Structure 1
């Protein structure tokens, strides 16, 4: 680590690395937990428990932090570029991410060469957000900040608008604010990450980059990290507590305290509600506040993953999916169950497939340890080959 020269901000990479490790846990659960592929969701109050829900909840930090820090990274990247150069980079990278989501990521998730189900997830959302940001950066930063705040705090006012069918108007609304999909010549395309609220998040992340400029005051930065982090977290409890505004699904008292807690913290992710954004980005900013001056073996471990996010994301999906196939072979089951095409997913063949939550955690730890040296080697290669422009897209 010490031999690699980098001007990157370590606390940001550490936070990104932390949520990426959590992300792997969620995806291991998707492929390994009992009946997870058949809809055994951690948010289902009929079948969940506090440990299973907690396993899911800590991974909620991934997408908001990814999108927010994508905006911050864009701002910092643009410090040595003209607006035109930054805009071109964001738009071309955004288009690249949309292509990669559709063609590569969907194959890695399903191993279905027919692409019967195309799911547009976080990579798609980041790509579209980058394209929009590439167009908006010409505006004054105060205007960008106001737009970001208006979208994040105001988009839940649109929750009552619900579209159906495959009209152009409906498809545009699915893309912007309503998680839904449409059929297209034997394929089903689902907008799992409607982009409007994520656009607000990336705009705020872009403005947040001001605190990390070279000339920025560390004292002032830490003051705002603490202030915004605490304020966002408190606001979550206020809005959520009174069910006043900020989430499509209000919490309700349940027959047990455990289920009531789950109901309270089960904020809407698709699309991300104001409550969801507050309870994820608020603590994330507090983490940045506390981690800024801390450097040890654990932070160095996280730093590796945080510096190669694109490479890590696609590698970890591939490794997890392959591991699930290996698990089937080892247990004497048909490995073709992990070819997740329409027949496999809809026939009930996966009913009863999966392992205990303990096994999920065990597999997660093994996969993270397996990915670490690979990511470290790639990080070193990337740091030592900054003249290769194409590496900025990977």
Structure 2
């Protein structure tokens, strides 16, 4: 699928982002309403020898792709948006200022809004996204090649720093918590330390630059994604099988599929990152092929609408889940899937109306959402 430099959006990216939003809604509906929900994706949360029901495990596992995909695609969208703004005559300084402002706004949503609701400081995915955007505003000046290798260094070498400075379950300095190591404490929690996720956004930005440049017809984006996806999955199998570096203390305890897929998300291990990026790349490649085959794309398809209003969806789905909480007791997994469907039905017209409003007022504060 060639990149159209005059197009405002790439449907495949919006489709994938929409799929991620749906899976995220399932995970958070499970958090609100699933009495048997599994949350053991870190050495800080997992008790060795624990047994997981397959349906509960895979309901949690399929949502692992959400954060890496959303953050990677955020980087891709930044590259494309910057290019389009340059084409419109916007200065580099103005483009950087927009990115810094949006990053600060998104990070503050976690620091202010969600921390206020949670009753203590809680730094989650919006913190990681916002800080990464602000850093990327400066890092992108280094050029695609340098940013790529810095991203690889962060993703592949982060565990070396943790092994030197971090002992799971021990005291974690605040500076390390906000950069590399998670904390689940009574005074504050950091689920998404910024720097591992910055590496993913940097990779996404490099891919966005590659989409714009289209330097080699022999390596179309779909083919590049498919090749990189299978390469990442192969590396995952090697690293998980060796069961040493790259697993962040989440070692294999058996040879079942559940054991192989039970990897560390908090913080993201190399095994986790390779697995999720590999699956994401293959899926995005297939969606790009689908986009090139389709003669027309329905502009109001639910997946597309959710993908085009992702940050608004993120905020709104929490409001809907909270509103539904008095109506349902915590219960079965089947109920969780039903509530997820209800949430999506409620959110579709709201997200569609918001999208139309945002597009009618492109320079309003709504651009930050």
TM-score (norm 2): 0.86
Aligned to 2:228: 228
Aligned to 2:260: 264
Structure 1 residues 155 and 288: CA distance shift in structure 2, 3 A: same
Quote the Cα distance in structure 2 between the aligned partners of 1:134 and 1:23. Answer: 27
Following superposition, the deviation at residue 121 of structure 1 comes to 0.5
Structure 2: 5+ residue stretches without partners = 1-5
Quote the Cα distance in structure 1 between the aligned partners of 2:236 and 2:306. Answer: 29
1:78-111 C-alpha deviation (Å, 9 max, x unpaired): 1123432232122211111121112223455x4x
Aligned to 1:191: 190
Quote the Cα distance in structure 1 between the aligned partners of 2:307 and 2:327. Answer: 28
Following superposition, the deviation at residue 385 of structure 1 comes to 2.6
Aligned to 1:343: none
Aligned to 2:125: 122
Residues 42 and 49, structure 1, Cα contact 8 Å, conserved in 2? no
Residues 247 and 264, structure 2, Cα contact 8 Å, conserved in 1? yes
Residues 42 and 56, structure 1, Cα contact 8 Å, conserved in 2? no
Structure 1 residues 237 and 215: CA distance shift in structure 2, 3 A: closer
Aligned to 1:363: 339
Quote the Cα distance in structure 2 between the aligned partners of 1:298 and 1:393. Answer: 22
Matched, 1:311 2:309: no
Quote the Cα distance in structure 2 between the aligned partners of 1:390 and 1:358. Answer: 39
Quote the Cα distance in structure 1 between the aligned partners of 2:116 and 2:299. Answer: 33
Aligned to 1:337: none
Structure 1 residues 361 and 298: CA distance shift in structure 2, 3 A: farther
Matches within 5 A, 1:367-378: 367-378=343-354
Matches within 5 A, 1:77-226: 77-79=81-83, 80-81=85-86, 82-107=91-116, 110=118, 115=119, 117-160=120-163, 161-162=165-166, 164-165=170-171, 170-180=173-183, 188-213=187-212, 220-226=220-226
Name the SS for the 1:99 alignment partner. Answer: helix
Residues 240 and 250, structure 1, Cα contact 8 Å, conserved in 2? no
1:322-379 C-alpha deviation (Å, 9 max, x unpaired): 2112225xxxxxxxxxxxxxxxxxxxxxxxxx20111111111111111111111111
Following superposition, the deviation at residue 10 of structure 1 comes to 0.7
Structure 1 residues 155 and 263: CA distance shift in structure 2, 3 A: same
Structure 1 residues 314 and 358: CA distance shift in structure 2, 3 A: same
Quote the Cα distance in structure 1 between the aligned partners of 2:53 and 2:40. Answer: 8
Moved more, 22-31 or 238-247: 238-247
Structure 1 residues 393 and 293: CA distance shift in structure 2, 3 A: same
Name the SS for the 1:138 alignment partner. Answer: helix
Aligned to 1:331: none
Structure 1 residues 70 and 360: CA distance shift in structure 2, 3 A: same
Name the SS for the 2:189 alignment partner. Answer: strand
CA RMSD of aligned residues (A): 2.4
Following superposition, the deviation at residue 217 of structure 1 comes to 6.1
Name the SS for the 2:142 alignment partner. Answer: coil
Quote the Cα distance in structure 2 between the aligned partners of 1:205 and 1:171. Answer: 28
Structure 1 residues 59 and 212: CA distance shift in structure 2, 3 A: same
1:233-272 C-alpha deviation (Å, 9 max, x unpaired): 1111111111132111343344xx6xx3212111111111
Moved more, 17-26 or 82-91: 82-91
- How many residues of Structure 1 are paired with residues of Structure 2 in the alignment? 344
